[in-house]
């Protein structure tokens, strides 16, 4: 019987090369996070639905993957439960769901472990999340997030360091042309107030967050639908068109909105972030890939301060990183007033960027450095101690496990991208030597067994 | 409103120290796997239930976590489905489940990707798995497995290399006193035949697999219940008591069971494994932590050749690794006759062993090397460039983000286990110097700003 084979829609298998490339990115991110003093935590794939639901809006709740209760899940279900429909029923027969992001589990973690933690608590977390979205290019149902957050301090040094961390990660990955957009929720609030729509900054944010997707006309329509008056919109639009250097944009808003308290806070914060970056680097802000973008809004409702988004230029891939400050993330779990700021790299998008720009090093794949070929029990016997010596010198090595035809063994090494092949027939073994062939250049030489390890180390690490 | 906080039964949060220690183990395992030519793959957390069910026995099917279908999962459900009970209903409303082990996803992967792969295909995989078992000490509902398998060759070099890999991982982790038990399914088959119970080796395996748990009396009872006659059991028991060196046990069975074809295959294989280990190491097998144990059975039905199990001695923790050869793992997915051999490390048990033997290095935790203390905007301004210079030299560093009281900042560094604290008041800054304090020894010195990086590098990497 042949079973229909497949994997769930929107999920992926990763082969050796893909895993190696994904780890290449994650290792660089991890190193930078740790360099800046962030420490790792990990949380379970499953969370209680009581923790997850109500945190991501109505749409988010629908996209949660729910896990059926173990055992006789139907025992407690009443006809009334069935009659109430599947949304209700799902909550009766499931008490767990798969993690939807890393932010809510982080907030839950902080509250549950608050008495063990040293505040300000700086954590990073790199784990998969799951969302029942319709899969499409670049959007998956299982994907990795790489988050760093610090909670328990309102110091704007954290915001400045987020900029520095993004720059350091990109420098290490070789990504050169990118823009870190920054804005401030209080500036958006001030804009609402300034056009006479105080308290409606959330609606404003949701509308302008779509600017990239639906254009300015679309945003105008969206604002109309959300109850903004024509004259308010007319007054708003010029604000979005303010352009220039970070300092110029900042100066513009400082003058235009100077009478609003919310603007004052935003301007001060943005000015302090500039000062900190200049003090840390000794460079003027003009040298930073930073843009103060009044149209940057970020959809999520919990942001309250500076917000970020990072876009790699000249690549048709959405933002690869984003984040911002929030004042009360843990409030919903019973711990009020813990301010924090965090951001996230999207691993899958960064991967696509790296591929598009051809930035992965040639030898990312984890395969061996050298494959040993043998022809019979005798040559295997002669090569086994050498195999162990190579490994003892940290040279990744394998002995092709069967005495297949030479051609087949060479083809195997070629298919796996193995750089060196080592052969020894009875003649070489008698001379205590081996043939060494470079699979890229075709270069071949005979070398004594005692010299192989040293020769390969030289070639592999100083080549 | 305060929400009841918690995580699902049998799952765990891992804090910074635990994550660092888990990664310490996984990194060593990964390095050894790659040294031996195994390459990483990753598969989705969710698999189709059609792939998972029927592979782990009836009990296993019950322990699968099922994921509720997205959207209106109830749409297609008929009253008949409800009447058939929850086991049936679960398969109507769920088409996906969480990975239960890494072996079945691997088999599915090999068949789906067979045309891209170079055979023999050597892969490793380190990912979490989920089982709805009753949680108890050392048994969790989410835990990590670290598997290495090679399929597409019957070479016993693979078995020998599994022994070498286990030894190399343990050497790197510092685990010295352990036993690698080895046996062969064909030897167990020969035993069945020898006592006149041909074809009942599976029942035999299931019974003696419980020897550790229920003792010899229990096994005798179990064998009786499974239909073995009293005289068969009497004939069997002395076989289980054969003890001695690997060579002695091998010789014993070679003589006692010499007329049975199945024994011949087992004896030959075990002899070849011995030869290969001796050829590779240049050492006699007596020097290996290897034991030929006729009572080792392994519960899983798919094993057909050599089987392994590893126990760390003098620690009350179950086996930390196990595996064996299988001849037809992929048959159920439509690819017949692909022989292979693999084994798995249980990360959580290895972790417990490392803790019990106190084998983790002192500084596993990922925290910073040095924390900078500041008192006001001026001292922050003076320290920021130094902070960046330290990081530029790969010294993990953080600046405490607020100008809190010195005592509070020191307490923070202490709680996080930071080894060095760096302070600079206005006097030091005027002198272009800083105070550096070692938090372990209490040692404190004043040092010029230009020398700090070099001094710390020396202390951290050559101390």
**For residues A393-414, average pLDDT:** 95
Task: Answer whether A51 sits within 8 Å of B3, measured CB to CB.
Answer: yes
Taking the Cβ of residue A29 and every Cβ of chain B, the question of whether any pair is shorter than 8 Å is answered with no
Taking only residues 339 to 378 of chain B, the set having a beta carbon closer than 8 angstroms to any beta carbon of chain A reads: 365-368, 371
Task: Answer whether A44 sits within 8 Å of B11, measured CB to CB.
Answer: yes
Which pair of tokens denotes residue B445?
A: 């010195």
- CB contacts < 8 Å between A and B, how many? 282
Which pair of tokens denotes residue A36?
A: 């800046």
**In 3D, which of B109, B307, B160, B267 has the Cα closest to residue A401?**
B160
Name chain A contacts of B62, Cβ cutoff 8 Å: 71
What pLDDT is recorded for position A98? 98
Task: Answer whether B13 sits within 8 Å of A42, measured CB to CB.
Answer: yes
pLDDT band at A3 (very low <50, low <70, confident <90, very high): low
Chain B residue nearest residue A365, CA to CA: B39
* DSSP secondary structure code for residue B283 in this structure: S
The mean pLDDT value of chain A amounts to 93
Chain B residue nearest residue A390, CA to CA: B35
* DSSP secondary structure code for residue B332 in this structure: G
Task: Answer whether B158 sits within 8 Å of A401, measured CB to CB.
Answer: yes
Task: Answer whether A333 sits within 8 Å of B5, measured CB to CB.
Answer: yes
- Look at chain B and count its residues: 463
Taking the Cβ of residue B86 and every Cβ of chain A, the question of whether any pair is shorter than 8 Å is answered with yes
**What are the Cα distances from residue B372, in Å, to A44, A149, A452, B403?**
34, 19, 48, 11
Taking the Cβ of residue B251 and every Cβ of chain A, the question of whether any pair is shorter than 8 Å is answered with no
Chain B residue nearest residue A45, CA to CA: B142
Compute the nearest-CA separation of A436 from chain B (Å): 18
Task: Answer whether B13 sits within 8 Å of A415, measured CB to CB.
Answer: no
Task: Answer whether B74 sits within 8 Å of A85, measured CB to CB.
Answer: yes
pLDDT of A204 above 90: no
Q: How far apart are CA B209 and CA B219, in angstroms?
A: 9
Q: How far apart are CA B98 and CA B48, in angstroms?
A: 9
What pLDDT is recorded for position B463? 56
Residue of B15, B65, B391 with shortest CB distance to A67: B65
What pLDDT is recorded for position B350? 97
DSSP H stretches of helix in B113-229: 157-173, 185-194, 201-208, 211-225
φ and ψ at residue B324, rounded to 5 degrees: 170, 180
pLDDT tens digits for A320-329? 999 999 988 8
Task: Answer whether B112 sits within 8 Å of A65, measured CB to CB.
Answer: no
Name chain B contacts of A377, Cβ cutoff 8 Å: none
What pLDDT is recorded for position B391? 97
Averaged pLDDT, groups of 10, chain B, 463 residues long: 79 96 97 97 97 87 96 92 93 96 96 95 98 90 97 97 98 98 95 91 85 88 92 91 93 93 94 96 96 88 92 94 93 91 96 96 86 93 95 96 95 94 93 95 95 95 71
Taking the Cβ of residue B139 and every Cβ of chain A, the question of whether any pair is shorter than 8 Å is answered with no
Interface mutation target, options B9, B157, B282, B328, chain A, most CBs of A under 10 Å: B157
**In 3D, which of B271, B341, B280, B264 has the Cα closest to residue B308?**
B341
List binding-site positions of A for L-histidine: 101-103, 131, 145, 149, 298, 302-303
Taking the Cβ of residue B246 and every Cβ of chain A, the question of whether any pair is shorter than 8 Å is answered with no
pLDDT tens digits for A156-195? 999 999 999 999 999 999 999 999 999 999 999 999 999 9
Taking the Cβ of residue B217 and every Cβ of chain A, the question of whether any pair is shorter than 8 Å is answered with no
Residue of A82, A142, A367 with shortest CB distance to B44: A142
What pLDDT is recorded for position B132? 96
- B156 Cβ neighbours under 8 A, 6+ residues apart: B269, B272, B273, B276, B306
Element (H, E) at A149: strand A142-151
What pLDDT is recorded for position B1? 46
Taking the Cβ of residue B406 and every Cβ of chain A, the question of whether any pair is shorter than 8 Å is answered with no
Taking the Cβ of residue B111 and every Cβ of chain A, the question of whether any pair is shorter than 8 Å is answered with yes
Taking the Cβ of residue B94 and every Cβ of chain A, the question of whether any pair is shorter than 8 Å is answered with yes
Compute the nearest-CA separation of B159 from chain A (Å): 11
Task: Answer whether B74 sits within 8 Å of A66, measured CB to CB.
Answer: no
Q: How far apart are CA B295 and CA B297, in angstroms?
A: 6
What pLDDT is recorded for position B411? 96
**In 3D, which of B281, B21, B275, B61 has the Cα closest to residue B168?**
B281
Q: How far apart are CA B323 and CA B102, in angstroms?
A: 12
Residue of A3, A130, A164 with shortest CB distance to B332: A3
pLDDT tens digits for A251-280? 999 999 988 988 999 999 999 999 999 999
Domains along chain B with CATH numbers: 16-44+100-356 (3.30.930.10), 46-98 (no CATH), 370-462 (3.40.50.800)
Task: Answer whether A8 sits within 8 Å of B96, measured CB to CB.
Answer: yes
- Is B342 within 8 Å of B369 (Cβ atoms)? no
Which pair of tokens denotes residue B50?
A: 């059609």
Task: Answer whether B42 sits within 8 Å of A13, measured CB to CB.
Answer: yes
Q: How far apart are CA A447 and CA A399, in angstroms?
A: 18
**For residues A279-302, average pLDDT:** 91
Task: Answer whether A279 sits within 8 Å of B385, measured CB to CB.
Answer: yes
Name chain A contacts of B460, Cβ cutoff 8 Å: none
Which pair of tokens denotes residue B113?
A: 């990707």
| CB-neighbour burial class of residue B159 (10 A; exposed 0-12, middle 13-18, buried 19+) | buried
Taking the Cβ of residue B67 and every Cβ of chain A, the question of whether any pair is shorter than 8 Å is answered with yes
Q: Which of A73-77, A333-337, B362-366 has the lowest mean pLDDT?
A: B362-366
| CB-neighbour burial class of residue A430 (10 A; exposed 0-12, middle 13-18, buried 19+) | exposed
């Amino acid at each position: 019987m042949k079973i229909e084979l497949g994997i769930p829609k929107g999920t992926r298998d990763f082969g050796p090369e893909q895993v190696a490339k994904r780890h290449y990115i994650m290792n660089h991110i991890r190193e930078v996070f740790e360099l800046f003093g962030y420490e790792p935590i990990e949380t379970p794939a499953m969370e209680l639905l009581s923790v997850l639901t109500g945190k991501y809006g109505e749409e988010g709740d629908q996209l949660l993957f729910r896990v059926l209760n173990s055992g006789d899940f139907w025992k407690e279900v009443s006809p009334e439960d069935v009659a109430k429909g599947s949304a209700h029923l799902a909550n009766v027969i499931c008490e767990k769901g798969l993690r939807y992001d890393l932010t809510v589990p982080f907030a839950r973690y902080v509250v549950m472990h608050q008495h063990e933690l040293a505040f300000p608590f700086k954590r990073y977390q790199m784990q998969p999340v799951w969302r029942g979205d319709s899969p499409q290019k670049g959007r998956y149902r299982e994907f990795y997030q790489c988050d760093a957050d610090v909670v328990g301090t309102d110091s704007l040094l954290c915001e400045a360091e987020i900029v520095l961390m993004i720059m350091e990660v990109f420098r290490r990955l070789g990504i050169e042309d990118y823009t870190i957009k920054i804005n401030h929720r209080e500036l958006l609030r001030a804009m609402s107030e300034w056009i006479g729509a105080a308290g409606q900054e959330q609606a404003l944010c949701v509308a302008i967050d779509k600017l990239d997707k639906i254009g300015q006309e679309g945003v105008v329509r969206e604002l109309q639908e959300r109850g903004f008056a024509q004259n308010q919109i007319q007054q708003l639009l010029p604000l979005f068109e303010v352009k220039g250097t970070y300092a110029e944009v900042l100066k513009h808003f400082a003058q235009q909105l100077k009478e609003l308290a919310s603007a004052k806070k935003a301007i001060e914060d943005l000015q302090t972030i500039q000062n900190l970056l200049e003090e840390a680097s000794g460079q003027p802000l003009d040298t930073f890939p930073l843009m103060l973008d009044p149209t940057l809004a970020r959809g999520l409702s919990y942001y309250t301060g500076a917000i970020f988004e990072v876009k790699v230029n000249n690549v048709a891939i959405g933002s690869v990183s984003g984040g911002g400050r929030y004042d009360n993330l843990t409030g919903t779990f019973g711990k009020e007033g813990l301010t924090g700021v965090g951001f996230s790299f999207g691993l899958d998008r960064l991967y696509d960027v790296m591929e598009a720009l051809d930035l992965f090093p040639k030898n990312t794949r984890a395969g061996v450095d050298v494959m040993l070929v043998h022809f019979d029990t005798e040559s295997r016997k002669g090569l086994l101690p050498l195999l162990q010596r190579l490994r003892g010198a940290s040279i990744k090595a394998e002995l092709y496990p069967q005495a297949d035809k030479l051609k087949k063994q060479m083809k195997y090494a070629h298919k796996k991208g193995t750089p060196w092949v080592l052969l020894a027939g009875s003649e070489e073994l008698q001379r205590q030597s081996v043939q060494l062939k470079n699979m890229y250049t075709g270069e071949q030489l005979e070398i004594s067994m005692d010299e192989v390890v040293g020769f390969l180390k030289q070639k592999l690490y100083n080549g």
